[in-house]
Structure 1
Amino acid sequence: MFTKEEYADYADLCARYKPECPENFNFSYDVLDAMEPGKTALIHVDDDGVRREYDFKFFQETSSKLANALVKEGVKKGDRVMLVLYRRLEYWTVMLALHRIGALPIPSPSLLTKKDISQRVNYAKISAIICEDSICARVDEAKGDCPGLNHFVQIDGETNDGWHDYEELMATGDVSFPRTADSPGGDDPMVIFFSSGTTGLPKMVLHNFSYPASHFTTAAMWHDLEEGDIHLTLSETGWAKSVWGKFYGQWMAGAVVFVWDFRGKFEPAHLLQIMEENKITTFCAPPTVYRFLVREDLSKYALSLRHCTTAGELLNESVFHAWEKAFNMPLYEGYGQTETTLQVATFKCMTPKPGSIGRPVPGWDIALMDDEGKKVPQGEEGEICIRIDKPVLGLFDSYMDEPEKTASVKFDGWYHTGDKAWADEDGYLWFMGRTDDLIKSSGYRIGPFEVESALVAHDSVIEAAVTGLPDEVRGQLVKATVVLAPGYEPSEELTKALQTYVRELTAPYKYPRVIEYVDDLPKTISGKIKRKEIREADLKKYNS
C-alpha cells in the first residue's frame, strides 16, 4: 500500500512521488490489522528506566478490547474524548480503539489546569476523558462545571469515585472488533487537535481519516525511515507533532516507534544515554533540544544515528555545523502546522541549507503571497499559502464548530497559514515568523527568528525572544528579551557584545537596540514563546 523509493534529487522526487490514500481509509483496520502480529511495533522506556517491547498483536488485541468495552459504556461514533496520557503506552491503544469506533480523540497536554480542562471540555463538547491517575484530581475539580462530561477512565492508582479503572474496563472487551458497513473511514472526522496559538482560546483543528496516510511522507521521505529502523521523536502525546513522529508514518514505513516517557526536567545527557543504550537510528526534535545536546561532550557517546531531522522553530547555523561535525551528518529541517502535515522540508535527496525549512513537499502546491493575494517575486517575503481548489492530503477539514474562523483562512482557493517566508534562487524557503510577529523598522521588515537564531548562537544565551518596540523615529526598534546561560550576568558590556555579535551574523539593521534580561520567557503550555505578551508588557512599561 505504501512504498518507498530512492530519488536522485528534488526534481526527481516531485516527478515520481505522489502521496496517495486508499479509499475509505482507516488506519486501525487498513494498517494496524494488516501488520504481521509478531513484528515489533514499539519500544517503551518509562521514567524509571524500565524497557519493554510490544508487537503489533498487542495493539491489535488491546485496541479491539478497549473499543468493545467503551462501546458497552455508551461511547459512540462522533463522540469527543479528551486524552491526557503523557507518553504512556496506553496512548497508542486508546487512539487505535477510538479510530475503530469513530469517536474523536482530543490529545491534550499534561499541564492543563482546572480552568483549562473546564474551558476545553465545554468548548469542544467533550463527553469522555481518559487520563492517568495524576490528572484525575484536576478533572474532579473541573467536572462540576462540565455538564456534558459523563465518562471517566483512569489509568493507574487507586480508582477514584466515579471513574472506571482502565485495566478492569479493558478486561470486559473482546479481542475482536471487526469492520462493518458503518465503520468510520475516508472523509469522516477522525481526530481533533487543539492548536497551540499564543492568543485567546486555542482552535479545534479537525482532521479526517485520510490524515494518517499523509504521514507516510513525513516518515519515509523526511525521516528517511526504512524497515527495522528505531525512530525517536521527542514530543509529548498532547500535541499533533507526536503523530508526526511516534505513530502513523513510522509504522507504515516499517520502523519501530521508540518512546521515552520521561517526567520532570529535560536532561540532555540522559537523552544521549537513552539514545546510545537503545540504538536509536533516526531522531527528530526541535532546534532547542539540539542546542542543548551540542553543549554536551558528544564524543562520549557511541550513537547509532544515521539520519536526524528538526522542526518547530528556526535552526541556527552554529548548531547545524556542531551537529554535522560531531556525527558527520546534517540536520534536515521541515515545516508544518497543526492544521497540516509536513508541507515544506529538506529531504535526503536535497542539499540542506542551514536555516532553510526546505522546499514544498510533493502534493502541496505552495505560493508566497502578499496582502492582496498576489504571488511575490523571488527574494521577497510573502505569506505561505496552499492551493486548495483540489483536495490536499493532510490538510485539516475545518476549525471544528467554527465556520467563520475556517472561512478566515480558507478562501479564494487558498489556505492562508499566517506564516511568512521568502524564497531564494534555488526555491528554498526561509521562514520569517507569524505575520503578527514581523517587525517594521526604518522601512525594513525584520523576522524575529533570524535575530533570535543569531543570539542563541552566542555562548551566553540560552533562549531569546525578539519583538518590536514602538519608536517615534524608526516606527519600531528591535528588542531582544534574553535568558542567559549559567555563569553569565547581565551587564552593559555583555549587551554591547551581543549587539556586535548579531550585527556580524545578520544585516546591521537587524541587531537588537534594546536587550532585556529575564529568568524565563512567557510561553504557551506547548512551549511556544508568547511574543504578544512581551509586546503588551512593553507597551505598558514604556508608555507609563
Structure 2
Amino acid sequence: MHRSAHLDTFARDHLPPQDQWPEMHFDLPELQFPERMNCAHELLDRWVAEGHGDRPCVIGGDGRGGEIRWSYADLQAQANRIAQVLVHEMGVVPGNRVLLRGANTPQMAACWFAVIKAGAIAVATMPLLRAKELGQIIDKAQVTHALCDAALADELETARAQHPVLYRVCLFRSQAADGLEALAERQSPHFENVDTAADDCALIAFTSGTTGQPKGTMHFHQDVIAICRCWPRSCLKATADDVFIGSPPLAFTFGLGGLLLFPLSVGATAVLLEKASPEALLPAIARYRASVCFTAPTSYRAMAAMLAQPGASVDLSSLRKCVSAGEALPAATRQQWKDATGIEMLDGIGATEMLHIFISHTEASARPGATGVAVPGYRARVVDDEGRELPRGSVGKLAVQGPTGCRYLDDERQRHYVKDGWNLTGDAYLVDADGYFVYQARTDDMIISGGYNIAGPEVESALMAHPAVAECAVIGVPDEERGQLVKAFVVLKPGHEGDAALVKAMQDFVKATVAPYKYPRAIEFRASLPRTETGKLQRFRLKESA
C-alpha cells in the first residue's frame, strides 16, 4: 500500500489481513492509477480547471420550495466552503469518518465532495434509518463527525446520545446561526484537496447481512474512479449532454454511482430528487428533459402501468437510457417498459462489496431473463461449494474479480465473502450456452423487496420486542410487483388474538423501530414454528409452505 495521508489511521488499521483480500485486476489501460489521487479532483475539480466550470452540474430542491441549479464551478465552491468548515470549524482531520444523513439533494452532493476533499471518509446513511441502525453504523465505523439535514436530526441526536464517539454534528438546510450554510458562507470558496493516496479509504458503505448486523465495505479513491471507467464506458456510454435522474438514495452505492459519480465523470448533469416515487419520477423526467434514468424494476413496472392508463400523457421524448439494478429484472417487466416507451432497459448486477455493477449488457445485447456478461475490467464465473468452476447450465455461486472487491471493516465475514481470491456475492447463477449469466436466487436469507435489501433476522428482532409476540420468523416470499415481500410467521403469547387489528399494530410497531420499508407486509399467525431437535429454526420449511 502507498503512503497514507490519513492522520487518523482507523480505516487502515481495520482493513482485513492482506491474505483475505480478493485478487485485484487492473487489466485495462484506463485502470492504471497513480500513487496519489483524490477522486474529487477527477470527478469535479478537473472540469473547472479545463474551462467547463459553467456547465450545469446538479439540480434539486433547496428545502424551502425553491430549486437549486449549480454549475460545476458552483458545486466546487460549495464543496470547498464545506470542506473549510469541516477542517477549521469542526476539527476534522484526514481519515476521520464523517456520517452524511440526508435525502438526494445538491447540498448532500456538496457535503459528500467536501468530505472527500478534506481527506476524510464519507459514511452516507439512508434517510429512513432509525436511531438504532444509525447507532450500529456509528459504533462500527467509530464515526466522530456528522453532517445532517436539519429535517432528519432527531433520530441522529438520539443515536448520538447513546454513542458519544460521535461528538460533532452540523446541520445543513438549516437557518440556524451555527448551521452549515451560515458557517460555510464565511469560508473561502478555495480549498486545496488533501493529497490522499490512491488506496486511502474514501468511503465506507454499509450493507446489512442476514444477521442484521451491518457490514461496512471499505472503498478507496481509486475504486471510485475504477467504477466510472468500467461499466459506464462499456455499457452505459453516456455523454456530457446527458441529464441523469432516478430514485436510489446516494447512500446506496447504486445511487451514488448512477446519480452522482457517473454523470460527473463525463461532465453531465445530475437531477437529485428528494422524493422519487414512480408518481414523482415520471413527470420529473419530462420536466428536466432527463435522458438517463436509474431505478429498480418495481418502479419501472409502476411507471409502465401509469403510461398505459387511458389519457396518460407524459413527454418522455428526452429519455434514451434506462438502467435497472437493485433486484433481478423480470423478463415481463423488461417487455412492459419497452412496450410503454420503446426503450430497451440496461440490466446489471452489482454489490455494495464491489461498489457497483460488474455484470451487464448493452441495449443491443440484452436478452430477456439474462443479466448479461462480465463488464470489461471484471471477470466472473459460477462455482460449486469448493470453488470449482461449473459447466454451463449448472446452478452455482457467482464469483467475481476485478479492480474493486470486498474489504469489510473489521468483520469476520470477510472469510466467507472472499474465497481463493474470488468475491462470492451471495447470488446463485448459471451461465447459459451463449455465455450469458442468468440469475436464479439469493444464496442467503436476504430479502430483496422493491430494490431494498432487508435482513429477515433484523425484522424478527424488531417484532420480538412487541408484547404480544412469543416467537417469530421472517422470510421473503415471491411477489410479482416487488420481487419479494417480507412475510412474518408469528406465534402469539397467551391472551392475544391474531386478528387484522393486531397485524396492523405489529406492522406499525416495526415501522417505528427500524426503517419503515423493512416492515412485514404479510403476517401469518401460527401455533408453532418448525425447528430441529436442537431448537434451530428451519426457515426452508417456512419458504416451502409459503
Judge same fold: TM > 0.5, yes or no.
yes
**Larger relative contact order, structure 1 or 2 (CA cutoff 8 Å, min sep 6):** 2
In the alignment, what sits opposite 2:171?
A: 154
**Structure 1 unpaired stretches of 5+:** 1-15, 439-450, 470-517
Q: Does 1:67 align with 2:83?
A: yes
Normalising to structure 1: TM-score of the pair?
0.75
Mapped partners of 1:19, 1:530: distance in 2: 45
Alignment root-mean-square deviation, CA: 3.3
Q: Residue 252 of structure 1: which of 249, 254, 265 is its match?
A: 265
Sort the Cα spacing of 1:519 and 1:352 in 2 relative to 1 into closer, same or farther, 3 A: farther
Shift in Å at residue 267 of structure 1? 4.6
In the alignment, what sits opposite 1:287?
A: 297
In the alignment, what sits opposite 1:133?
A: 150
In the alignment, what sits opposite 2:365?
A: 351
What code does the residue aligned with 2:56 have? T
Mapped partners of 1:539, 1:79: distance in 2: 50
What is the correspondence of 1:55-454 to structure 2 with a 5 Å cutoff? 55-72=71-88, 73-157=90-174, 159=176, 164-179=178-193, 183-216=195-228, 217-262=230-275, 267-298=277-308, 300-303=313-316, 304-340=318-354, 341-348=356-363, 350-387=364-401, 392-396=402-406, 398-402=407-411, 404-437=412-445
In the alignment, what sits opposite 2:493?
A: none
CA deviations 1:246-268 (Å, max 9, x no partner) are 11121112321111122xxx653
Mapped partners of 1:305, 1:77: distance in 2: 41
Shift in Å at residue 529 of structure 1? 8.9
Mapped partners of 1:385, 1:534: distance in 2: 35
In the alignment, what sits opposite 2:13?
A: none
Sort the Cα spacing of 1:46 and 1:353 in 2 relative to 1 into closer, same or farther, 3 A: farther
Q: Does 1:25 align with 2:40?
A: no
Deviates more, 1:294-303 or 1:200-209: 294-303
In the alignment, what sits opposite 1:501?
A: none
Mapped partners of 1:302, 1:380: distance in 2: 44
Sort the Cα spacing of 1:136 and 1:529 in 2 relative to 1 into closer, same or farther, 3 A: closer
Mapped partners of 1:52, 1:244: distance in 2: 21
CA deviations 1:465-510 (Å, max 9, x no partner) are 49999xxxxxxxxxxxxxxxxxxxxxxxxxxxxxxxxxxxxxxxxx
In the alignment, what sits opposite 2:10?
A: none
Sort the Cα spacing of 1:462 and 1:215 in 2 relative to 1 into closer, same or farther, 3 A: closer
Q: What's the secondary structure of 1:399's corresponding residue?
A: coil
Sort the Cα spacing of 1:525 and 1:424 in 2 relative to 1 into closer, same or farther, 3 A: farther
Sort the Cα spacing of 1:437 and 1:400 in 2 relative to 1 into closer, same or farther, 3 A: closer
What code does the residue aligned with 1:31 have? L
CA deviations 1:350-386 (Å, max 9, x no partner) are 4211221111111112111101111111001111112
Mapped partners of 1:135, 1:113: distance in 2: 10
Determine what percentage of the aligned residue pairs are the same residue. Answer: 24
Sort the Cα spacing of 1:529 and 1:116 in 2 relative to 1 into closer, same or farther, 3 A: closer
Sort the Cα spacing of 1:423 and 1:540 in 2 relative to 1 into closer, same or farther, 3 A: farther
Q: Is the 8 A contact 1:421 1:430 kept in 2?
A: yes
Mapped partners of 2:227, 2:153: distance in 1: 32
Sort the Cα spacing of 1:297 and 1:100 in 2 relative to 1 into closer, same or farther, 3 A: closer
Q: Is the 8 A contact 2:175 2:182 kept in 1?
A: no
Q: Is the 8 A contact 1:47 1:260 kept in 2?
A: no
What code does the residue aligned with 1:426 have? D
Q: Is the 8 A contact 2:296 2:325 kept in 1?
A: yes
Shift in Å at residue 219 of structure 1? 3.0
Q: Is the 8 A contact 2:293 2:323 kept in 1?
A: yes
Normalising to structure 2: TM-score of the pair?
0.75
Q: Is the 8 A contact 2:244 2:271 kept in 1?
A: yes
Mapped partners of 1:311, 1:211: distance in 2: 20
Number of aligned residue pairs: give it.
448
Mapped partners of 1:412, 1:424: distance in 2: 24
Mapped partners of 1:273, 1:292: distance in 2: 13
Sort the Cα spacing of 1:280 and 1:368 in 2 relative to 1 into closer, same or farther, 3 A: same
Q: What's the secondary structure of 1:294's corresponding residue?
A: helix
Q: Is the 8 A contact 2:249 2:256 kept in 1?
A: no
**Structure 2 unpaired stretches of 5+:** 1-26, 447-475, 490-505, 532-536, 538-546
Sort the Cα spacing of 1:261 and 1:203 in 2 relative to 1 into closer, same or farther, 3 A: same
Mapped partners of 1:342, 1:407: distance in 2: 22
In the alignment, what sits opposite 2:457?
A: none
Mapped partners of 2:277, 2:245: distance in 1: 16
Mapped partners of 2:280, 2:289: distance in 1: 14
Q: Is the 8 A contact 1:194 1:202 kept in 2?
A: yes
